[in-house]
Structure 1
Amino acid sequence: MESWQRLLLLLSLALASGEATKDNDDIDLVSFLRTIYPGLLVRNEPVIVNKGSEINSLKQLRRPAVCSITERSKVKPLDQETNVTPGPVVVTKDGLIKGITVDRAYIFYGIPYADPPIGAYRWKPPRPVGPRPGVYDASFPRASCMQACSGPFSGECPWIVSEDCLYLNVFVPLDVDFSSSLGALLPVMVWIHGGDFIAGSASKPLYDGRFISNSTRTVVVSLEYRLGAFGFLVSGKDPHSSAAGNYGILDQQAALLWVQQNIAVFGGDPSKVTIFGESAGAQSVSLHLMTQSSKPLFKQAVLQSLPFSIPLKSRHDALKLGKEFAKQTNCSVSDLVCLLSLAPQVVLAAQMKTSSKVVNPFRFLEVFETWGPFIDGELIKEQAVTAFQKGHWQKEKPVLLGTTSEEGVIFVYGVFKKPVSALESAVYVAAIFKQHALRILHRYLPLYRDADRRDMLAQIVTDYVFLCPSRRSARAGTAAGSKLWMYAFDHVASDPRVWSNQTFCYRHACHGAELPFLFGSAPVANFTMSAAEKLLSNRMLCYWGAFAHTGDPSSRARQTTFCRQQRLPAWPRYSDTSSWLVMNLTVRSHAQVGTRDHVCDFWDHLGIY
């Protein structure tokens, strides 16, 4: 009998005892793990995800930093700004706004779309901006939302953070003539950044919207929204006497409403709005597709690396986290006055202390996303994966969705700093999947022979959290008549010798690896593209732009000269009549049958997402 088979036998005996299948919040997960393997190193300490950890022993793309906190402070323009000159002045419903002109676009930085959520308005829905006298200076980004500046793949750390952060940026192609009456309005692309709902910023150089805007003739908008405890604390149900959560999603709605009311004066068409986002940003996009009140605010959507299988908290679990948070502040969870009196630094410190709290031990995947939206029964009524499978979303809207081929690497190597043995990996699989663990291990264990099984865990995360539920949701949408296109970002450098520590995950298709290719921001991601990689980047820009213009990523209609020169390979709609073809985004992009369809068939049959 092979070692992995002996391991399955051991687990089968433990699981047969029934200890792994009780769905009870009061069960101690640590004790359960030790009943399976007493020697396992499992502590009653928080697991810190992506807090200064190394990925595959590679250097981080940026150093952790301590952010300064300010109110309405001026933030330095992005590092790559060159040849900046005064820009056009536009008249919005809230007043005059003056932007800047740079080499590739007109940019309007830091436009307020809601009043500051500070003081008594800390845990309140966003409020409309009042009229402003004079001309608003939109020549520099404003502060990012409150966050701790650490973790991989989040670009440049926002050096200044503040509770006063409800701003957005607008990027407009240079051929838009603001000196005369605007002609035909351009499609609008609204970017919602990721960052686990605790980090990220609309103004990170990685998300520089001028590249997409200028290359595809679209107006690009990027927005900030409240993060962590500031955006998602739940201390009770009554919004008048407690923090009711989901404020970050309400902020996004307020920004989308601002776009509807104002984007025309920037040359954008409010009837042609595409919302797009990656990771937590893609989760946000999926929630707007499920939310009736968001329906009139956009026309179509792009979901990049949506972690479908990471569960949103129930009200019970969100309130449990809120109690843990309040405990760290020495406030009662029911004392809103006390919570509102806390300094922003105190709120952030308490958030960080509870950021790895698994409030429901039988939803162990919560460790990957402690703070974020919860199912409140009104704005959000169910899990996204459930809504997509049952057709409870805006199915008439075109959707482009996809994943990277190595999504799980950054998560697994962020949690597990040291090698994980076969036995340890099996224990964690049992903790997450309970009665399904034996079948899952039987599927994966024989495929991995190295002593360190983190690669196996990373593949399970890739398949279960990202790839397979995305495929199932796409097939359910197709069956309901929706227009969907799927991609797999599977980039591998044409010459492995050019890999370096900093560029490993971008070239190895980790979570978020497509971003510098999509935004054309490789220089700020600290790696140099080969000619083949630049072609991939250009084609991705044009696919997304074509989708914004026509609802079809490979449409030739209304392509710019730049995009016509890229000679885009055809990207067929995702449907069974075309053998479920997926666009493989690599140095030689091509449509293909999904390479892991047999694995996703396995997960679909388990029926656990």
Structure 2
Amino acid sequence: MHSRIVRLLTLAICCHSISECQSAGDIRRRVLRDLVTLRLQNIGQAHQRTEKSAHTYSTATIETTSGPVVGATHEDSYAFYGIPYAEPPIGDLRWKDPVSVQTPYARINATVNYRVRCYHEPTNWNIVESEDCLNLNIFVPLTVSLPATSQNLLPVMFYIHGGSFKRGSGTDDSLDARELSRVTNTVVVTINYRLGTLGFLTLEEDGQDYIVGNQGLKDQRLALQWVQDNIESFGGNKNQVTIFGNSAGAQSVMLHVVSAKSKDLFRNAIQQSNPSIYSFYYPTPKTALEISRRLIEELGCNGTTGTERQCLIDTPPEKIVEKGPSVETATAIAENNAVYDEETFLPVVDGEDIRDVPMDLFKIGEWNREKNLIIGVNTEESLDFQFYFPEGTVLDEELFLDLNELTFGPEYGKIITDKYIEDFPPAEGQDYKVTFGHAMSHYYFDCPSRLMARYASDTGDGDVYFYANSHRVLLDYCVYLQGGNKTGCKLAYHASEIRYVFRTLLDSPDITDDDRVVEDEFSTYWGSFARTDSPSQNLANPVGDFPPWPVYEATNDGHSWRHMEITTPSSKVQSSYKENICDFWDSIDYASNGRLHLPLKWMYIIIGIVQLIFIH
């Protein structure tokens, strides 16, 4: 049985013939899309917001460079939804650098969140998608008198959503920042930006760069510039902007921190659960052009009358997005790097927007060193993977070794397997699913985030702070699998902190006083950081008395690398986060040489192939 599994896994990674690659690609696409969608839908359902009040009325009119804006007044804050910060990237502007609004609108009704998203990876979700999506939302405390003057301006928190650079939106209910704005007394901004095939494409034709790439990253930067030009009218201080984001949003934050072009647009930065191992695999311009060539061929735009670029512009956006998954599979095969099977249309290391591999830039000090940083993780980022294995699957020690050798190579696969069998053995009567989840958490999140924070501490001029969120959240899918039994269904898994940061917890019997405490911890530290450059100095609306958060640095007093654990009944100062296992990963030099090529969602492919074996 194991030899059959390894054979199919080998097929899925590298193939031995064209027909095998096509077959593996079909399997991979079906399994990956279904399982990833399942996981994200589960997370999304957990983050739905319960409306607190249906009684709203309009705000005063705010003059902006996009035109006069009218928002809604709620019981907790003012809200302005869907303000355009750029011209719609349609027609000839598709894949062009974003252009600020040229002719201001006569009036922008920003009173209702229509939840418009940019086109992204196909899903079964009932959502509104549009290319005319470059909008932002603004949330303002009721303490501000609108339209605001330049007196007593508040700090600004600017959020970039995650989603593998190909899904997600700043309009999600889980990101409705009315309560966050009220409690932290900050002006909060959330944004949309172009994604996937429409957001990260490069094209060279007749020796000229017709599409230069990194459109989604440039959208984010233009939104930051819009904030510089307009946020004072909403009571925000343009000189006190903190950017923050989760997952791919945290990657985006990281990229702005290393980009000279973004330097003057923000003051502080927060990375929540950055899968920073990906920073070693951003495509080069050459690879990006090859990826675009595959999309052109999938769309039949090669050899057409007229230019390839014109063919791309004339193609409906739905068809372009639809071809993304097949391009991802073809790229993973061509590059012999499974990273690209989940994230293909990515920011490009072009020497301008992104000068070099981000981790290397932190290491040598070639980043915006004056910035103050918070970098952190959830302590069980990938442990929810155990619940997505098909029923009856047994990941025994032999198969665990097979998977590690297949993905990391025979030498390192054996070393990694031995380490995890010794340090993270299964509980009595259990298999290696949880052990595998630990390995993925450490490889993707914990250890590269720790490494980046230490590099930034060593080479930066500002202060660096590190956190580990250990608060466990009920995973609804686990409860479903166990027929309503909630035992063992609470984890500090990937993205589980978002609703605590934004204070959008459900009104549910499952929400406890501890959950509210964690909300307050995030609000206290994030709000203080936005206000004072330190997470422990001052919050305008105190919501708890939590311990001061020390700087993350090496010291000579035996208390090096202290960080904050977000937990209950109160946060705790700890030191040397996961020292043993992260020292192990550093010792095999997994990051510097980029030898290990296992992507975050690759385990879903593995699960899917194992499922096919067990079912068929």
TM-score range, shorter chain: 0.7 to 0.9
Contact 1:55 1:414 in 2 (8 A): no
Provide Cα deviations, 1:313-361, integer angstroms capped at 9, x if missing partner.
2223322322222222112297111111111111111113334441455
CA distance in 1, matches of 2:14, 2:217: 31
* TM-fit CA distance, 1:234: 2.5
CA distance in 1, matches of 2:217, 2:137: 18
CA distance in 1, matches of 2:131, 2:356: 29
- Structure 2 residue corresponding to 1:448, chosen from 425, 435, 439: 425
Paired residue for 2:269? 301
CA distance in 1, matches of 2:209, 2:36: 42
Contact 1:305 1:402 in 2 (8 A): yes
Contact 1:522 1:528 in 2 (8 A): no
CA distance in 2, matches of 1:348, 1:56: 19
Paired residue for 2:369? 395
- The amino acid that maps onto 1:375 is V
CA distance in 1, matches of 2:30, 2:526: 35
**Cα gap change, 1:596/1:42 in structure 2, threshold over 3 Å: closer, same or farther?**
farther
For normalisation by structure 1, the TM-score amounts to: 0.83
Paired residue for 1:339? 312
- The amino acid that maps onto 1:492 is R
- The amino acid that maps onto 1:464 is Y
- The amino acid that maps onto 2:530 is A
CA distance in 2, matches of 1:84, 1:283: 36
224-233 vs 312-321, greater mean Cα deviation: 312-321
1:554 paired to 2:536: yes
Contact 2:60 2:146 in 1 (8 A): yes
CA distance in 2, matches of 1:83, 1:605: 58
Contact 1:56 1:413 in 2 (8 A): no
Paired residue for 2:258? 290
* TM-fit CA distance, 1:131: 3.2
Matches within 5 A, 1:99-498: 99-142=71-114, 143-148=116-121, 150=123, 159-178=127-146, 181=149, 183-236=151-204, 242-310=210-278, 311-332=281-302, 335-357=308-330, 358-409=332-383, 418-434=393-409, 435-446=411-422, 447-449=424-426, 452-481=431-460, 482-492=462-472
- The amino acid that maps onto 2:565 is N
Paired residue for 1:536? 518
* TM-fit CA distance, 1:31: 4.8
* TM-fit CA distance, 1:201: 0.7
Paired residue for 1:511? 494
CA distance in 2, matches of 1:312, 1:53: 24
1:93 paired to 2:69: no
**Cα gap change, 1:523/1:28 in structure 2, threshold over 3 Å: closer, same or farther?**
closer
Unpaired segments of 5 or more residues in structure 2? 18-22, 592-616
CA distance in 1, matches of 2:431, 2:341: 21
Provide Cα deviations, 1:13-37, integer angstroms capped at 9, x if missing partner.
xxxxxxx9xxxxxx972459xxxxx
1:597 paired to 2:571: no
Unpaired segments of 5 or more residues in structure 1? 12-19, 21-26, 33-40, 64-76, 152-156
CA distance in 2, matches of 1:316, 1:414: 36
The secondary structure found in structure 1 opposite 2:438 is helix
* TM-fit CA distance, 1:442: 1.9
For normalisation by structure 2, the TM-score amounts to: 0.82
CA distance in 2, matches of 1:239, 1:415: 48
The secondary structure found in structure 2 opposite 1:354 is helix
* TM-fit CA distance, 1:392: 2.0
- The amino acid that maps onto 1:276 is F
Provide Cα deviations, 1:154-197, integer angstroms capped at 9, x if missing partner.
xxx56101011000000000010126745211000000000111
The secondary structure found in structure 2 opposite 1:560 is coil
Provide Cα deviations, 1:179-229, integer angstroms capped at 9, x if missing partner.
674521100000000011111110101111112110011000001000010
Contact 1:111 1:168 in 2 (8 A): yes
CA distance in 2, matches of 1:389, 1:522: 38
**Cα gap change, 1:552/1:361 in structure 2, threshold over 3 Å: closer, same or farther?**
same
Paired residue for 1:74? none
- The amino acid that maps onto 2:326 is K
- The amino acid that maps onto 1:383 is V
Contact 2:471 2:491 in 1 (8 A): yes
Paired residue for 1:14? none
The secondary structure found in structure 2 opposite 1:90 is coil
Contact 1:49 1:414 in 2 (8 A): no
1:569 paired to 2:547: yes
Paired residue for 1:37? none
Paired residue for 1:73? none
Matches within 5 A, 1:44-83: 45-47=27-29, 51-53=33-35, 60-61=42-43, 82-83=54-55
Contact 2:563 2:574 in 1 (8 A): yes
The secondary structure found in structure 2 opposite 1:583 is strand
CA distance in 1, matches of 2:51, 2:550: 39
* TM-fit CA distance, 1:505: 10
104-113 vs 449-458, greater mean Cα deviation: 449-458
CA distance in 1, matches of 2:519, 2:51: 21
Contact 2:363 2:459 in 1 (8 A): no
* TM-fit CA distance, 1:289: 0.6
CA distance in 2, matches of 1:58, 1:375: 28
CA distance in 1, matches of 2:276, 2:221: 21
CA distance in 2, matches of 1:582, 1:79: 35
CA distance in 1, matches of 2:65, 2:234: 12
Paired residue for 1:70? none
CA distance in 1, matches of 2:13, 2:33: 25
Provide Cα deviations, 1:385-427, integer angstroms capped at 9, x if missing partner.
2222222211211000100112124568669895544444334
- The amino acid that maps onto 1:509 is A
Paired residue for 1:580? 561
Contact 1:463 1:600 in 2 (8 A): yes
How many residue pairs get aligned? The number is: 557
- The amino acid that maps onto 1:351 is G
CA distance in 2, matches of 1:293, 1:480: 20
The secondary structure found in structure 2 opposite 1:394 is coil
CA distance in 2, matches of 1:413, 1:242: 45
Contact 2:147 2:233 in 1 (8 A): no
CA distance in 1, matches of 2:387, 2:203: 33
- Structure 1 residue corresponding to 2:505, chosen from 512, 519, 522: 522
**Cα gap change, 1:211/1:98 in structure 2, threshold over 3 Å: closer, same or farther?**
same
Contact 1:306 1:470 in 2 (8 A): yes
The secondary structure found in structure 2 opposite 1:534 is helix
The secondary structure found in structure 2 opposite 1:523 is coil
